[in-house]
Structure 1
Amino acid sequence: MPTHTPTDPNPSIGGLYVKTGEKQLAFPLKHTEVEAKIAGNLSRVEVTQTFENPFTEALEAIYVFPLPDEAAVDNMEIKIGDRVIKGNIKKREEAQAIYEQAKRQGRTAGLLEQERDNIFTQSLANIQPGEQIDVTIRYTDSLKFAGGDYEFVFPMVVGPRFIPGIPIDSSGDTDLVPDASRITPPIIPPATRSGHDIGVTVEIDGGLPISDIRSTSHQLRIEHEGQIVRVKLGNEDTIPNKDLILRYRVACDRTSATILTQSDERGGHFAIYFIPALAYRANEIVPKDVVFLMDTSGSQQGDPLRKCQELMRRFINGLNPDDTFTIIDFSDITTQLSGKPLPNTPENRTKAIDYINRLQANGGTYLLNGIRAVLNFPEAVEGRLRSIVLLTDGYIGNENEILAEVQEHLKPGNRLYSFGVGSSTNRFLLNRIAEIGRGTSRIIRHDEPTEQVANEFFRQINNPVLTNIQINWNGTGEIPVTYPSIAPDLFAEQPLVLFGRKQDRIAGDLHITGIAAGGYRYEQTFNLNFEETGNPAIAQLWGRMRIKDLMNQMFRYETKGIVEAVTETGLTYQLLSQYTAFVAVSDEVRVDPEGNSISMAVPIEMAEGVSYEGIYGGNIPAAPAPQAMMRSAVADVNYVMEERARGITLSSSKVAKSGFSSNLFGGKVNDSEIDCLMEAESFVQTPGTNNHPLQVVSATGLDGAAIGNLTQHLQRLHLPSGLSGEIVFELIIKKGRVRQVLLDENATTIGEKKVIEMIKKSLLTWQVPQSASHKHASNTVSLMLRVQS
């Protein structure tokens, strides 16, 4: 079927729309309806997306949207007229192949994929002109509980992502973010509406009277029916451009321990929610050394930066007398208030607040530079607890690179706390970086008062935590598998939530111990009995937590064994993951396979409070689409490399004078990007053959010419000395690109992560010869490399 994407003077909306009014455009996505039911600690959510083809040709609509980062997505279906077609969970590559084949055959098909824990893609092929199709997605989630409040969050829009790295091609993908084009949907221009709106209904059954229902983000309509409360969006607040944040309290002094179980042929599953009573005295507060890390990139321009500054002033003035502190801010460059921790004196507080007030927001979100600066900051003196406090919107595409850096280099005893500032922050990054950093995360809207947020933070950070938590099984049979696999430290007013599975379903006791403030021993025992069928959501959440735990082991690169484990878990528990996908296909051919069709990415709203100018520089009327921005980046890189080949070393000012622009968030190429190129170039040398320390031993799936081409490409790498052994990868090649690089950890004899990661990045940038790539099918290559440096 011939497919085309028409062009238009405004590339930010994919060049395709129907104008219905002076400021409103008609796109395929018409409406999203959300229905959530909350019982106790759990929510079951149904999301229905209504697509309609406003064009005169058959349409493929591709929509990038968010969901909660720990949602267990286990159901998808499409509805055409009165007919419902249930989606089936498949391996992702298999689901993609089924979808593409159905599209070519003229069948209507839906494909639901996960790009990040909180970013998803819905593709819908062969929508007839004028036809309406509903896509329904269902998921289970566990509510957040802190300080007496339950919190239900539904994200509505994917915020713009800063994409660092060296471009692979003109798609927008880079060696650091090889799927950038899949997480950067086009943005609707300012002062323009898409016609897409959203409705939300949340039904809460708390088991007890519910009070203090409120939202910091939306206008609400609240209805009571006994102990059931229904909450709906106000009619004036239906633009999907900000996260819905709903908080409420249940009528009791404190949440008691809750045990939920479920049993089926997969085993006995359980969830435990409990809050230990942690009493503390002021003289037990340990002096802190606090390093504040502030995002001052372009996406923070306007209200977000002002909110960060306001919050920082409260943080500085809320420190204890014996605390020390400093401030590091990052964008294109990283600067700091001082090179060592400052005593908490009136003079230093004044100096810090003056520094905060002078900060401006512009440039790219080079979070890695800021993270490295704070992790390399001089160590805190003995007896002080180093606390790192990150303030950012999290709008980056290279999350795994950041998480790997924290995971590998955060010193024992240090804590990393994250504050997401904005209406639609990257909760996946903010939540995960705090978990890995053994701290807490908190989201504050750009228009939310800061006093309570700051006070709650200091109450948490000052209070002793429950540490050294141990989980022991007292009973017969196998030991339950629990997640998190390593129990985190526990902060005051924040519950510990454990998900577990005992495959043999034999009852027994789970004994939990820990060390509380002042060295006191804490212990509690929970009886587990799997006789009843129980709540099926518990099994799904255990599966989701297992996937999360496995994915946390692959921040640097993917490994074959863990990818297989994630895939197996997704298929067993019918869960969406980065390696499984839902696909639904109509039985009948519904459009002419030989006729013309249109394929378009559905444009989305800009997140509320985010500055177009801060993201796109001065190009507000027609902000460049990610593809166009990345073409500029390709030109930048090629220009720099060509000049260096001639022996000319470029600074950022020289590049700027040449008229080349940055790859995202406006502005010119900066020193950080030049440094990135220099770092990449330091690994490049003139290709050799037999005497090169990196040799291709075998490449099953490639012909001789492709092997020679790959060998020449890899021999540009300059490896560190002292390495000896073999590295085995599995490559997935499709459409002229290496789409996935999996390390075979069992066959690999070299353990240096940085070297493996370096080779992985090089493989992602390999321009695959036509003989090694198929137009529709994937080609799997088993690659063995020998290193002798």
Structure 2
Amino acid sequence: MSTRRFLSSGLMTLFLLSGFLFANAAFGQGVLIWDGPVPLPRPHMPRPAEANYRITHIGVEGRIQDQIADIQISQTFHNCGSRVIEAQFVFPLPEGGAIDQLTLMVNGHELSGKLMNRDEARRRYEAIVRANRDPALLEWIGHGMFQTSVFPIPAGETRTVTLHYSQLLKRDHDLTEFVFPLSTAKYTAGPIDELSVNLAVSSSTALKNLYSPSHDIGIKRNGKKRANIILSQKHVVPTSDFRLYFDTKEGDVSADLLSFKDDSKEEGYFLLLASPEIKAAMDERVAKTVLFVVDKSGSMSGKKIEQARDALKFVLNNLRKDDLFNIVAYDSKVEEFRPELERYNDETREEALAYVDGLYAGGGTNIHEALSRGLSMLKDNERPTYVLFLTDGRPTNGITNETQIASAAKSANTCRARMMAFGVGHDVNSRLLDRLSRDGFGTSEYVTPDEDIEEHVAKIYNRISSPVLSHAKVAFDSGEGGKGPKVSRLYPDGEFDLFEGEQLVIVGRYKRAGDVTIKLTGKVGDRQETYTFDGELTDETNRQSRVFVAKLWATRRIGELIDELDLHGRNQELVDELIALSTKHGILTPYTSFLADETTVPSLAMDGAAFSNNSAVARDNLQALEAESGADAFAQRAIKQNLKQSNRGGGVGGYSGQLPAPALAGGRPAPGNAAQPVSGPVQVEEVIRNSGVQTLYKRGKLVVTPETAEVDVEKEKDQIQVVQRFSDDYFKLIAANTVSENNLLSQQGPEENLLVKLRGQVYLIE
């Protein structure tokens, strides 16, 4: 069945129905439910016994040419039960672009269906919610629908459902947006075996910024006007929509500004994307300096020294003509490949490779002398300079105090070389590495015992191998005599380098809306350049498609707060800000994981005695940062770096990785990003949920927001309006709600009560 007409709509979400019952999923992710009013299974919650099927694959293939997307989605269901499943698909059509030429196939056979407008679809949505007694579909009320006829899935067999459609994508200023609503797939009873997205994006003019705030995508550029977007995940329960932004502009550097406000009284959030193509204007690549400082102490023996040699060889084989380099190798003593920096050519490469083959492990660890010797060779302030520092342990020879080592390295780094510090294994002094990288304008990279050193070094070197804009800075000019927008708390802040193929992602806060001029300055080769762009910081509040901007800023800010507390000691104001940001945005850390513990019912208050209690718990958890080495210290600093460097703001939770043991008392990670402590996995039963800008917390049978968490239901019952779920009053409330408010109501699970504030009134939905 093919439907040719344009609708005022966005992408479609795929639902499965069995009779009047349904279970939803985004674009092919569905849940099968049998006869009887069984509500949707929720993430990590027990699967209804009747839902005896499995989704093995969801695949998205598509071509995007300028603003036109041609998309095909396929999914495979396997009926694990002993009887036939009579299934039906429903496609809610969110607001957005326009959809044309919609076709649905089941095992290669075209399936008929019915297209419903917004009003007709509302009645259908409400009928499903009433019959199923589950509010999950409420987020789609107000949107159109495409519903198919019934088709069977025989017992023990599989069916592949394929959907094909064309869509006119939305464009906002210079940015084109493609949205693929995967978030409703969180209602599946179990993880999807395989999720894949493969998009070929092309443009009639140059493609510049390509950015996904929701997923860690792969980007392969094919010339100036084409790129492939790749996402591959296994055994996953999607918790956020797939979102892709791209722009097409002429010029050496392209920049886009996205802003968001969740309250007219609060500061807004912004995201700046910049993509350089400066190499096209250069006669030759910028020459750089690369200094290796590599540990060859006794603890590096065996596989680690072999991998370190391979990592050095990889970089040596990929340096470029006119690059300068040297190798400093250290154990108890320090030695160099050459007394001074060498110019890279065929001869020096072969000599350096032979030197690397002669590196063997033995002795102690003299980090201070190795860094002092190496940094003393770096004297050229004009060229981009990088130190690749690698160690697997703690300093044991020479100066061993981490503060003194870091201070000496900072003083010796007179040319502002970027320090790329690699920590190998759990015995490394991870706090020392973070001090070195922070003071050295670089980053820390942590290599677990089962990972390959070469892969980590190659990843970092491939990124920094071709600097195109060095010593770069960003400035915002609002003009208007200082009465225009004022930006603050940018992350990253200060100077940075931009590399070929890299995209700059800066987040910050702003006061006052209005137009701004953005200036990106830096060195291209030996000349200073300035690139100027115009942008707008919005005064529009609660634009749901931009919620990720606020969460991305909060994620990076939390990483910075933890870094400050780690490297500079306790500060009560920073602890309080850490708790407030974690609570508001639902971003858990090892130190605020108590927020996800519904058994102890911690307060979500932002002030008062209850907040002070949370602050005391966080201070106790922060004692874990006193560990300088070991598995817990390693995990904490890796988490911190991930938060600081995050480029995504979708989903729930702050990180995915290892929780240090001290944080386990009364703490569990958030769904969708479930962390694991050193001692084993932790199960989370959807204690924290995100709904647009709102974060909800499960406290026993009551689900609250930070705004209603301190409401005493018994003492304040005269001020609370009680609504029975699925009653006439409930559906009247739904009719009066905005899309974001109905999305909030859709988060209520079976046998839960929801306490929310809508338009100034507190409602208890039972």
TM-score (norm 2): 0.39
> Which gives a bigger RCO, structure 1 or 2 (Cα 8 Å, sep 6+)?
1
